[in-house]
Amino acid sequence: MKKNQLTAQNGAPIADDNNSVSAGSRGPLTFDNHYLFEKLAHFNRERIPERVVHARGSGAYGTFTLSKSLKEYTIAEFLQTQAKQTPVFVRFSTVGGGQDSSDYARDPRGFAVKFYTEQGNFDLVGNNTPVFFLNDPIKFPDFVHSQKKDPRTNLPNPARMYEFWANHPQSLHQMTILMSDRGIPLSYRHMHGFGSHTLSFWNNQGERFWIKWHLKSAQGIATLTDQEASQLPPFGAQQDLVDSIDKGDFPKWVVKLQIMPEADAKNYSINPFDLTKVWPHKDYPLIEIGELELNKNVDNYFAETEQAAFAPSNLVPGIGASPDKMLQARLLAYQDAHRYRVGANVNQIPVNSPRCPVNHYQRDAVFAGGCPIGGHSDVSQAHKQTKGVNFYPNDQVEQGAPAPNSQLVAPPMPLEHDAWVGHHDQSGEDYYSQAGALFGLMSDEQKQQLVTNIAGGLSHATQSVQQRMLEQLAKADKNYAEGVKKLLS
């Protein structure tokens, strides 16, 4: 077999990779150690900034197979034809901890799916829970700060967590899920996924429908207690995903939708765009539309899983946003985070690059593509920045310069009648009923685990925080509050 030569980054062969150039065997190094400098300079830059949230993750490739045509609801190309397969990349993650945290932290799990469709990438960016702690994005930085390590001690501080929750009843539903038995999944394979946000579909008649995505684990739900989790290695979920795919035990999820006609939202008793609330299935039943399978591990964790960049703004014709305030903010925040963390041309990295032609007038910045990156065959040649015109409108459209397609315009987004622009207080919303209903569905064992987990953290908080949390729990279910109160006394 022919041996490959070791080279520098410019392709030049390297004669010695064990010894630096020095002035004699015992002398100092010299300034012509350009290969040494290249290695050290690259080593200093091997890591891109860690994600502020969702830092610790695992990813894999697979396919989405459509089992039910959705052409009556959407013009999205990959949702038209039964049995059509679309390649995907999925990244799972813990949310609050850094790269040094455990796969088995009590924490929500990110569940992000990148669909490589023929009309561009569609990113479904959600969690393993159908709701979130907030319905207004102005509180998101404050919330994350409250869940991160204490800035003085650099240690977890449950008192800070509960102080935030005591001041924000909108968090009660998600907090109940987090502190329940589902707060620590056994593995990424043994948890459901949710788009969480309300998205929209529109069809070729210009009709809009509000949509919620659900991905139900075919492996079933399996969870851990705090005690069980403490006995497992911090990288256990990563290893489980890699091992299961390597041995051909491919994880699967049944993909389902809730579909609400646009007009229903006006008079529905629940705000359908409030991320802290679910749509009861009795009102909008789950409709099965396909299956998601993961069947290929990454070849390079850093290049693929770590540099994978998901954004709710990655939408395709036929799929749009909604008045969900958290979603509206994430349309900006996610792409902005990727531009900061990875660079302006983050979408030219192979794992993020669309599998279809890409034609736009955005130019330059770091890593501007001139050819497929690293020879990756899946990266579109259309990223190439050529001598052609670099603005629109222009006089070169007939010669192939990119132009918009007016036939793909989305129908206008509805607004409330007589809506006034301003700060709209949401403290009068019902943030208790759904948390109480969830508590009522739990078995006695699940209820006991829930109240024990809450009391364990709440015991570190002040009397004022404890009292406010108990008042919230009592509004959800008196037995919920009593269970926690007994353990605090």
Active site residues: 54, 127
- Alpha carbon 185 to its chain's center: 17
- For helices 444-458 and 158-167, angle between their N-to-C axes, nearest 10 degrees: 110
- For helices 433-441 and 478-488, angle between their N-to-C axes, nearest 10 degrees: 80
Residue whose entry in the numeric block shows the structure tokens 């080593």:
43
Q: Cα dist. 439→221, 232, 477 in Å?
A: 18, 28, 8
Cα–Cα dist 128/109, whole Å: 5
Hey, is 31 helix, strand or coil?
coil
- Decide: 204 and 137 in contact? Cβ < 8 Å: no
- Decide: 148 and 252 in contact? Cβ < 8 Å: no
Q: Please enumerate in sequence order all residues whose Cβ is within 8 A of that of 325, keeping only pairs 6 or more positions apart, or say none.
A: 135, 136, 137, 273, 275
Q: Which residues of 167-197 are buried (b: 16+ CB within 10 A; e: fewer)?
A: ebbbbbbbbbbbbbbbbbbbbbbbbbbbbbb
Q: Please enumerate in sequence order all residues whose Cβ is within 8 A of that of 61, keeping only pairs 6 or more positions apart, or say none.
A: 87, 88, 89, 90, 294, 295, 296, 297, 298
- Alpha carbon 90 to its chain's center: 9
Element holding 141 (H helix, E strand): helix 140-147
- Decide: 267 and 317 in contact? Cβ < 8 Å: no
